[in-house]
Structure 1
Amino acid sequence: MIGWEDVYKVVVAVVPLYVALVLGYGSVRWWKIFTREQCDAINKLVCYFTLPLFTFEFTANIDPFKMNFLFIGADTLSKLIIVAVLALWAKCSRKGSYCWSITSFSLCTLTNSLVVGIPMVKPMYGPMGVDLVVQASVVQAIVWLTLLLIVLEFRRTGIEGANSTNLKPKASSISNVVIGDEVVERKDVEANTIVEDTSSRLPFFQLMKRVWLRFIVNPNSYGCVVGISWAFISNRWNLKMPSMVEGSVLIMSRAGTGTAMFSMGIFMALQEKVISCGPSLTVIGLVLKFIAGPAAMAISAIIVGLRGDVLRVAIIQAAVPQSITSFIFAKEYGLHAEVLSTAVIFGMIVSLPILIAYYVILEFIH
């Protein structure tokens, strides 16, 4: 049962993240230390150095031979359900959007389990719960964040390829133009904007080749793969990582979460408003995070036959607040970073009472 001491432990785990966030915000908004170009460079540092090493470090230290594959199956099924629903919405609805489907998938499924999930689950369900949350985090890093990276790279490469192969200046007769998913009036577009001919696309295989070449040189694409590979080897033959290698990894990986929050604070400072996505998108993001995600997990867990505390842990870990990595990727690839930053910031604030409420409700389920 959760007591005040356990609540305090969660607060202790979360407060340092907000310290890093405030320092990043103040460095731009109050103290004017960084320029916009330097802020972009900081995000690239986080995206391509600290986060890949952070991912490698925690995936390399699990025991893959002791994973609960029924639990992993439920987690996988829940994400596939969400993918199917979002794809159907994007294809069939007049308001559907593939770009918003990508962001909605992040909001529904990607969690900050290591920072918030473990301190919350440990007093609820003990070592068993912690072990399951770590397993979900590893699968998230290996499978779902990697797939998100591929989709984001596919989107950016397609846009860049189309822009470089078939660009045309705006004609004064154009009344509306398409930029990304948005249709805007001619008067709202700057005079020097170049508009993409949406009738032009790169050939599919050429596009996939460009995506693959970019993907294989991105450290995020293989940090988790190398980590889980070492986990299999080390646990199979009882090997330990050389101290020199371990020290080299830790010196950067320990800065992963802090620098990510610092980068988020910088991003907030560059926006006109703290809640840059607006209140309606903030509410939608919180609903997707704390209701849609756990609901999909509950359905999937029941389908695969989870029962007891394993079922409860599955639902609660799906309600853990937004992954910080999803914001870093969104910022780097220019897709709704303001929505994901708001989801991370406010999600961690409201997650404590929400997770406790889920815990109390689930105790009545046998």
Structure 2
Amino acid sequence: MISWKTIYHVLEETVPLYVAMILAYLSIKWWKLFTPEQCSGVNKFVAKFSIPLLSFQVLSTNNPYDMNLKLILSDAIQKSLALLVFAVISRACCMEKFDWLITCFSLSTLPNTLIVGIPLLKGMYGDEAVKLISQIVALQSLIWWQIQLPLIVSNSIRILSDGGLGMAMFSLGLFTALQTKIIACGTKKTLLSLGIRFLLGPALMVISSYAVGMRGTLLKVAIIQAALPQGIVPFVFAKEYNVHADILSTAIIVGMMAAVPVALGYYVVVDHPRPRL
């Protein structure tokens, strides 16, 4: 059974994120502190400064020579499998083939690793999980390196990047409060998106991880990170190019609500296998 200590460590890392999101939601719905124009300014600050600098801070401290080859291969195989599966399905069943291919690929392979994954998995597996998660973030970027920046530059970046997690969650809370309804795409599409996010994505990661021989903590971290809620960045691009933004926004909002229970459920399954008879 999962220990109360582990649950506490997970909550210790994740509850502050939800506090930021709830405060933002209440600031719109109850306290009327922000206008839609001001919310747009907050969102732009997060998109242009907080998240890019947070990503840079993670990437700049990652050493590509220490990256785990099996983790790289499993991540690449998972995305390749998802692309192949949804290319076939969208070609056979969907009118807007390319739009659905992009949406389903995003749902199955692009979790909220940076904002939710790092604190959540840190509570489960400690700093080693953070190192592995940082490698996955690096894999989704074009350039990564380990670089020792001058202290004046490092501190300038750190001041803004340290608030990246909180500001991203605050921005999500503002976005949620501005919606007329939380489930914007209907019940059927919501259930489909959650199934792809929390079931199919981890299943593809299990297949790809076993295919490259991953075992132990590395395997567990890979599976649980694949079951994290939907990433925010794909929604930003979906909204920009009008590609099923309603589905991705619903997946983010509902997924954030279910993130901790789902992650703890996967933690129980992968970290506490049933004894053999």
TM-score tier by shorter-chain length is 0.7 to 0.9
SS of aligned partner of 1:320: coil
Residue 21 of structure 1 contacts residue 262 of structure 1 at CA under 8 Å; is this kept in 2?
yes
Residue 51 of structure 1 contacts residue 325 of structure 1 at CA under 8 Å; is this kept in 2?
no
**Matched letter for residue 358 of structure 1:** Y
**Matched letter for residue 69 of structure 1:** L
**Partners of 1:25 and 1:124 in 2: how far apart?**
28
**Partners of 2:185 and 2:87 in 1: how far apart?**
23
**Partners of 1:107 and 1:94 in 2: how far apart?**
16
**Matched letter for residue 31 of structure 2:** W
Q: Which residue of 2 aligns with 1:77?
A: 77
Q: Which residue of 1 aligns with 2:208?
A: 300
Residue 10 of structure 1 contacts residue 116 of structure 1 at CA under 8 Å; is this kept in 2?
no
SS of aligned partner of 2:258: helix
**Partners of 2:221 and 2:64 in 1: how far apart?**
19
**Matched letter for residue 352 of structure 1:** V
Q: Report the identity percentage.
A: 45
Q: Which residue of 2 aligns with 1:110?
A: 110
Q: Establish whether residue 351 from structure 1 lines up as the match of residue 259 from structure 2.
A: yes
Q: Which residue of 2 aligns with 1:54?
A: 54
Residue 94 of structure 2 contacts residue 100 of structure 2 at CA under 8 Å; is this kept in 1?
no
SS of aligned partner of 1:298: helix
Residue 13 of structure 1 contacts residue 116 of structure 1 at CA under 8 Å; is this kept in 2?
no
Q: Which residue of 1 aligns with 2:3?
A: 3
* Correspondent of 2:189 among 281, 288, 302: 281
**Matched letter for residue 110 of structure 2:** L
**Matched letter for residue 102 of structure 2:** I
Deviates more, 1:288-297 or 1:251-260: 251-260
* Correspondent of 1:247 among 146, 152, 155: 155
**Matched letter for residue 345 of structure 1:** I
**Partners of 1:3 and 1:311 in 2: how far apart?**
20
**Partners of 1:123 and 1:41 in 2: how far apart?**
32
**Partners of 2:94 and 2:258 in 1: how far apart?**
32
SS of aligned partner of 2:225: helix
Q: Which residue of 2 aligns with 1:320?
A: 228
- Counterparts in 2 of 1:302 and 1:88: CA distance versus 1, 3 Å: same
Q: Which residue of 2 aligns with 1:364?
A: 273
Q: CA deviation at 1:359?
A: 3.2
* Correspondent of 2:249 among 313, 334, 341: 341
SS of aligned partner of 1:132: helix
Structure 1: unaligned runs, 5 residues or longer: 144-224, 235-239
Q: Name the count of aligned residue pairs.
A: 274
**Partners of 2:119 and 2:43 in 1: how far apart?**
27
Q: Which residue of 2 aligns with 1:30?
A: 30
**Partners of 2:31 and 2:123 in 1: how far apart?**
41
Residue 108 of structure 1 contacts residue 293 of structure 1 at CA under 8 Å; is this kept in 2?
yes
Q: Which residue of 2 aligns with 1:98?
A: 98
**Matched letter for residue 252 of structure 1:** L
**Partners of 2:181 and 2:203 in 1: how far apart?**
32
Q: Deviations over 1:233-289 (max 9, x none)?
A: x3xxxxx32111012211221222222222222222222112223332222221111
Residue 2 of structure 2 contacts residue 268 of structure 2 at CA under 8 Å; is this kept in 1?
no
Residue 122 of structure 1 contacts residue 130 of structure 1 at CA under 8 Å; is this kept in 2?
yes
Q: Deviations over 1:271-318 (max 9, x none)?
A: 211222333222222111111101111111122222344333322221
Q: Deviations over 1:153-197 (max 9, x none)?
A: xxxxxxxxxxxxxxxxxxxxxxxxxxxxxxxxxxxxxxxxxxxxx
Residue 12 of structure 2 contacts residue 123 of structure 2 at CA under 8 Å; is this kept in 1?
no
Matches within 5 A, 1:145-160: none
**Partners of 1:333 and 1:131 in 2: how far apart?**
33
**Matched letter for residue 364 of structure 1:** P
Q: Which residue of 1 aligns with 2:89?
A: 89
**Partners of 1:30 and 1:306 in 2: how far apart?**
49
**Partners of 2:248 and 2:3 in 1: how far apart?**
31
**Partners of 1:279 and 1:325 in 2: how far apart?**
23
Give the TM-score normalised by the residue count of structure 1.
Answer: 0.66
Measured on the aligned residues, the alpha-carbon RMSD in Å equals: 2.7
Matches within 5 A, 1:137-148: 137-140=137-140, 142-143=141-142
**Matched letter for residue 302 of structure 1:** Y
SS of aligned partner of 1:62: coil
- Counterparts in 2 of 1:353 and 1:330: CA distance versus 1, 3 Å: same
* Correspondent of 1:266 among 174, 195, 207: 174
Please tell me whether Structure 1 or Structure 2 has the larger radius of gyration of its CA atoms: 1
Q: CA deviation at 1:49?
A: 1.7
Q: Which residue of 1 aligns with 2:133?
A: 133
**Partners of 2:94 and 2:237 in 1: how far apart?**
27
**Matched letter for residue 215 of structure 2:** R
Deviates more, 1:311-320 or 1:286-295: 311-320
Give the TM-score normalised by the residue count of structure 2.
Answer: 0.85
Residue 322 of structure 1 contacts residue 344 of structure 1 at CA under 8 Å; is this kept in 2?
yes
